[in-house]
Amino acid sequence: MSDLVATWDIALSDGVHKVEFEHGTTSGKRIIRVDGKEIYRQDWMFKLVGKEYFQVSKAKCCISIDAVSGFAYEYTLDVNGKPLKKFQENQSKIMKCWVLYLGGNDVRVVLEKDTLDVWVNGRIVETAGEFADDGTETHFEIGSHSAYIKAITTGKRRDGIVHQLFVDEVEIPLATD
C-alpha cells in the first residue's frame, strides 16, 4: 500500500521534474522520488515531523512535514530556499519556455534570460547571436531544423524585452505553464 501524500512539478531549465513524497504516518516512513526514481528512503522513524533535504538537477529542495492537528500533516516544498509558488514566480521572470511538436516528438525550448543559455529538451545548445534591425537574434539548431529567438525591446520600461521563438521561420507561441 502506498503512503503517497504529495506530488509537485518543478519547472527547471533542463525540464519539468516530478517530485513524489510518501509518508507513513504510523511508521514515520519517508520516501522521495524524482521523475519516478527513488532518491531517498527511510523505513522507520520515531519523529513523524521534520524536514528532508535533497536536490533536483541544480536546485536544492526541502520537504517540510508539519503536524496541523491530531494525526493530520501538512507537506510543503521549498526550492532554492523559497516556497514552490514563489520559486515558480521567480522562474517565470528569468525563463521563457516554448513547447512544440517537431518531427513526431514534443520539443521543449527554454531561454534563461539571465545567462542567455538556450536549452532544448534538457540540454544546453550552441548558439550564435547577431544583431537585427529591431533587436537581436540568437540562432541554434533543433535537429535538422533552424531556430532562433528574437529579442525585441518594447520601448516601455515596464514591459522590457519581448522574446519570440521561430522554428523554420514559423513563430512558436510561449508555453502556458
pLDDT tens per residue across span 147-172: 999 999 877 777 778 899 999 999 99
CATH number of 4-80: 2.40.128.180
Which of 171, 170, 153 minimizes the C-alpha distance to 162? 153
pLDDT of residue 145: 94
Q: What is the pLDDT of residue 127?
A: 95
Q: What is the pLDDT of residue 114?
A: 86
The three grid cell numbers given for residue 84, joined into one nine-digit string: 514552490
State residue 27's pLDDT score.
77
Cβ contact 62:50 at 8 Å: no
| Nearest residue to 177 via CA among 1, 7, 9, 5 | 9
pLDDT lower than 50: segments of the chain: none
**pTM for the whole structure:** 0.78
Which residues, in sequence order, are CB contacts of 7 under 8 Å at separation 6+? Answer: 18, 19, 20, 21
| CATH T-level topology, domain 92-172 | Lipocalin (2.40.128)
Q: How many CB atoms lie within 10 A of CB 4?
A: 12
pLDDT, position 177: 59
Q: Where in the chain is the domain with CATH 2.40.128.180?
A: 4-80, 92-172
pLDDT in tens, 6-24: 999 999 988 899 999 999 8
What local confidence, expressed as pLDDT, does residue 1 receive?
Answer: 54
